[in-house]
Amino acid sequence: MKLLRQPVDLLQLSQMRLMQQVDAACLRRLVDRFETCEMAADEVLLSPHGINRFLYLLVDGELTVYLDSLDSQPLRLIEPCECVGEVSFIDRHPPSTYIVATQPSRLLRLHSREFAQLTTSPQLMQNLVDLLCERVRLGERLIINSEHNANVDMLTGVFNRRWLEHIFERERARCAFNQVPLCLLMLDVDRFKAYNDKHGHLAGDHALCLVARTLGSQLRPKDSLVRFGGEEFVILLPELGLHEARQIGERLLHSVEQIASFNTAIGLLPGVTISIGLAQLRAEDELEDLIDRADKALYQAKQQGRNRLCG
């Protein structure tokens, strides 16, 4: 970063978001306390590995925010008139993100020893509070999105194995309390390796997404569709006994089988079939026990010719 030996323009300062509607007398007191600096493209402004003692206002250029590392996906862009580093400027702890200049940029900066000067303006403090609230809400959204992504299979959009472990405990307790049964379907896309070998792995991904969409459209809101791994899916069916679960499984079989071909971004692809194993929860069962019995029933369905349900 290069410090420029030039006075800060009062009009320029007043245009910053943090200074919106701040009275002219306060701006005149502050203008001499700000410094102007320049950054080269790809230069790091803030990092979790260093202490930040400045509040930055971006005059021109562009900054990028990275959450975990400089190799991660950019979190967001910071454009002119925005504020940077306000949290670490106030609490004097290292920043929680990386801030990097995407292009040559010019900034105004205020040292933390001048913080008391900001408090003389109620409007400026209101602007700062609004900005901090915005940061908190952004953090909350990131947490929610992170938790959602941790429970969802990114290819098919259905729940993943981590979610199954969580929801099973909840549904087992609920079904036991209400004295209602709980069943599990374990299904596998038939001859999936051969499908991949013949049509390509991208085609296989499209086939898995087709299966997930088809199954999901047939289920109740209380049912849980999970991609268990590879071409295997698990469906948790609370409040259903073997007879009803078998009827649902047969319907799922037929709904997938009826799709002889489907359109994708890579062209028309042939459909697939599935095999299903069914098991009902016993009082002494853990999730592994239930899955093991459903998996054995699935193996039996494959041994009997595939595209069928056993259990």
Q: List the catalytic residues.
A: 231
Longest dimension (CA), the chain: 86
Closest CA to 252 of 266, 270, 237: 237
Give CA–CA dist 219/70, Å, rounded: 42
Q: Which two tokens stand for residue 243?
A: 């007879």
Q: How many CA atoms are closer than 13 Å to the CA of 155, on its beta-carbon side? A: 20
Closest CA to 276 of 295, 255, 293: 295
CB burial of 225-253 (b: ≥16 within 10 Å; e: otherwise) equals bbbbeebbbbbbbbbbeeeebbebbeebb
Region for residue 128 given its phi and psi (left: phi exceeds 0; alpha: psi -120 to 50; beta: otherwise): alpha
- Say what angle helices 161-177 and 287-303 make with each other, to 10 degrees: 110
